[in-house]
Amino acid sequence: MADASQRKRRALQHLRPFLRVRQPVLDPVERRLGRALTIRDLRDAARRRVPRAVFDYVDGAAEEEVALSRARALFRDLEFHPSALRDVSTVDVASYPLGGRSDLPFSLAPTGFTRLMHHDGEVAVARAAAKAGIPYSLSTMGTTSVEDLRSAVPAGRRWFQLYLWRDRDASADLVARAMAAGYEALIVTVDVPGPGARLRDVRNGLTFPPNLTPRTLADMATHPGWWSHLLAGEPLELASVAEWGGTIAEIVGRMFDPSVTLSDLEWLRSLWDGPLVVKGVQSVADARDVVSAGADVVQLSSHGGRQLDRAPTPLRLVPDTLDAVGDRAEVWIDTGVMNGGDIVAAHALGARNVLVGRAYLYGLMAGGTRGVERAIEILASEAARYMKLLGASSLSELAPSNVRLP
């Protein structure tokens, strides 16, 4: 009997290290975000947190969504070629867009209607970006003004994204306000001469602000938190737009100017004395033209696949664009980025900066500022891991030979 008791005691002693009880996480946001290991996990959490029309506005693209699926497929199907026997005991993931340090190899892209996704909107995103030491771009179609964002988040690198309106005086006024508010760079988007056919938005009847219809009233029952913040908070409005309201396509059709040409880009260059980024370039010929017109950065972008469906895939354009513009301009990229390995691949091919949009919006919908922080954390850790496994201790050690495109 004594031997049996001793064996039981020894067994309990051996088991004790395995019997640690994990403390329950009482905060539902922390619990939700803690379960998210990838951006796709955040996407799943976001889908459950917000009305379908809001989720689909973020998640969707134009027409059959071919451009978006091709962009993601190219990132997924590329082949990495690591360099062995390299010292990667420490990995520096810092990047230097526009010559300034960013602590991570990506920036946060401009997005419109951001307080639809979460009541803190652009302020939540800018706070997360400043905390991570990376740039954030405020959109013309944002729900926070250039001045209010600066006041709410005085730290960090801020860029301003501009759509040229039919009213050129109003566009010039926005440029002047951004300059006075200390925004570092002006990002001019050139791929929206008119609205893309975002069919999910049409089918969902999405308007800004949302209309109270039988469908939205029914949605209140399943997303009461989102609706309570919307109805009790500050009025939902486009902070930089004087006249708005209606569907997204109607707002774009009324405000945006389809007659924009290179001469308008030269006009903006005369107004803005900081770095000028041209976003939405989709050909090597256009890259040459915008650099000749004064652009400091060519941003290869298909607008997240939200404008021209079956547009060129930006990642595939990087090598030829670099050959065309040489050292006259930086080359940036966006569209389809869902993983830190996507970011590393773009840098290896020569992109100076990678901008992510949907990835952080999934986090914003899932958990506000903390959700954006979690999205940044996921992408940063993935990028560092890919760099280590590729044998690169810094972005400068990545090379086109590390990546083979299908």
Q: Which residues form the catalytic set?
A: 303
3-state helix/strand/coil string of 236-278:
CCCCCCCCCCECHHHHHHHHECCCCCHHHHHHHHHHCCCCEEE
Distance CA 196, CA 217 (A): 28
Q: For the CA atoms of 218, 219, 222, 225, what is the dihedral angle to 10 degrees?
A: -120
C-alpha torsion angle, residues 132, 137, 139, 143 (rounded to 10): 30
- Return contacts of 29-32, CB within 8 angstroms, 24+ apart: 29/367, 29/368, 29/370, 29/371, 30/370, 32/366, 32/367
In single-letter form, the type of residue at position 406 comes to P
- C-alpha span between 152 and 144 (Å, rounded): 10
Residues contacting residue 126 through CB under 8 Å, at least 6 positions apart? 136, 138, 149, 152, 153, 156, 158
86-125 residues labelled b (16+ CB within 10 A) or e (exposed)? eebeebebebebbeeebebbbbbbbbbbbbbbbbbbbbbb
Extract the tokens encoding 182.
């200390």
- Can you give the three-state secondary structure of 267-335, one letter per residue? HHHHHCCCCEEEEEECCHHHHHHHHHCCCCEEEECCHHHCCCCCCCCHHHHHHHHHHHHHHHCEEEECC
SS3 136: strand
Which is it for strands 79-80 and 403-404: parallel, antiparallel or unpaired? antiparallel
Token pair of 159 as six digits: 């860029």
